[in-house]
Amino acid sequence: MKSGSPTIRDVAAMAGVSVATVSKYVNGTQRFSPAVEAKLKDAVESLGYRSNPLARSMITGRTRTIGVAILDITNPHFTKVVKGANRVALQHDYTLLLVDTEENPARERSVIEALAPRVDGLIISSRASEEMAQWMLELDKPVVMLRSVRGLAIPNVGFDNRLATYMLARHLLNLGHRHIAYLGFGAASINDERIAGARAALAEAGLALDVHDTHAPTAQAGEQACSRVMLGPDRPQAVICYNDLIALGFMKEAKSLGFRLPQDVSVAGIDNALYGEYVEPSLTTIDAQSETMGELAMQKLIDALAGKEDAGNIVLEPRLIARDSTVARA
């Protein structure tokens, strides 16, 4: 017995046909005479032959693999994006080559460039500005970005960040809050859009937004930022957080500091992470449709690979999920 798996040649020899015939049989490219087909079937089965995907990829130039580069798989937004992308990929017989860049912009480019030649296309999430993302155009592979881009000719699936915070701010204004703070994550390129949205809503009411920042989009960062926001000279009545994780950390720490939630301060997040439903008070948030984002991005890429024309960029719409962490001002 030869070492390793049987090759197409072994099958050809056993069936008494040429390798070309075996190839066509395995790929279902052609019809065969019953006699040959039977021999082929026998040989393939008794040998347990499976074609080598690497060799095939080298010729066809297709790997049936999609590269997915995200910033942090433990961030529930990205967890759901990957979930959605994986689902659609599997349906179309694609597999994910996943890279978690760990919010490390320095590593990002080299890792993605190393990924590109091994995949048919890429789905990328990056904190980089559009100028800093120019190089992605040179990857020579179809790319879908997980956020709206204007200046660059890269297909994308984005989210209306401006509207999201606008809606949250309006929600809070409707509840009677006047002094509203935004606890953001400045390193994210979309942070400015979120600030703009909240600011616009407040401006309409003749109010100003109080902007704070965290060093990471995590619960821990939210905890750390809390005292700065709540014990400063000008305590807000309500706080809009960059995401649900920050909101969760913020709420926990606020309670530790002796504030009653939501009476003393209303808090809202963005993402609709599962856990917002299980904390107390349950978290008012914006559904960012993360899983749908992953699905649509993957579908867009697969369509592009199938030669379909790009149906245009997508902007997912925010949906407010009002829960108990935001209440009318006493």
Give the span between the Cα atoms of 177 and 162, in whole angstroms: 20
Encoded one letter per residue, x for contact with DNA by CB under 7 A and - for no contact, window 22-51 reads: xxx-xx-xxxxx-xxx-------------x
Q: Choose the one of a second copy, DNA, none that binds residue 248, judging by a C-beta under 5 to 8 angstroms depending on kind.
A: a second copy
C-beta of 18 vs 227, nearer to DNA: 18
CB of 240 to DNA, least distance (A): 50
Piece of the chain touching a second copy by CB under 8 A; list 26-34, 50-58, 191-199, 200-208: 50-58
Is 60 a binding residue for DNA by CB under 7 A? The answer is yes
Length of the chain: 330
Strands (DSSP E) along 39-194, which ranges?
65-70, 95-100, 121-124, 143-145, 157-159, 180-185
C-beta of 47 vs 187, nearer to DNA: 47
Question: Residue 284: CA atoms inside 13 Å, Cβ hemisphere, count?
Answer: 26
Contact call for residues 141 and 120 (beta carbons, < 8 A): yes
Tokens of 245: 């994780």
Encoded one letter per residue, x for contact with a second copy by CB under 8 A and - for no contact, window 160-189 reads: ------------------------------
CB of 48 to DNA, least distance (A): 12
CB of 93 to DNA, least distance (A): 14
Is 80 a binding residue for a second copy by CB under 8 A? The answer is yes
CB of 46 to DNA, least distance (A): 16
Contact call for residues 49 and 262 (beta carbons, < 8 A): no
CA proximity to 268, closest of 169, 163, 160? 169
Give the span between the Cα atoms of 277 and 96, in whole angstroms: 30
Q: Which of 17, 82, 183, 246 binds a second copy (CB under 8 A)?
A: 82
> Which residues neighbour 78 within 8 Å (Cβ) at sequence distance 6 or greater?
70, 71, 72, 125, 290
CB of 165 to DNA, least distance (A): 47
Give the span between the Cα atoms of 195 and 192, in whole angstroms: 5
Is 9 a binding residue for a second copy by CB under 8 A? The answer is no
Is 313 a binding residue for a second copy by CB under 8 A? The answer is no
Give the span between the Cα atoms of 239 and 223, in whole angstroms: 13
C-beta of 144 vs 219, nearer to a second copy: 219
Piece of the chain touching DNA by CB under 7 A; list 15-23, 91-99, 210-218, 283-291: 15-23
Please provide residue 158's backbone torsions phi and psi, each rounded to the nearest 5 degrees.
Answer: -115, -170
- Give DSSP secondary structure letters for 72-115: -TTSHHHHHHHHHHHHHHHHTT-EEEEEE-TT-HHHHHHHHHHH
**Residues that bind a second copy in the complex, under the rule CB under 8 A:** 4-5, 50, 52-55, 57-58, 63, 65, 73-74, 79-80, 82-83, 86-87, 90, 95-100, 102, 107, 111, 113-115, 117-118, 140, 219, 248-249, 251-252, 274-275, 277-280
Q: Which residues of the shown chain bind DNA in the complex (CB under 7 A)?
A: 4, 7-9, 16-24, 26-27, 29-33, 35-37, 51-52, 55-56, 58-60
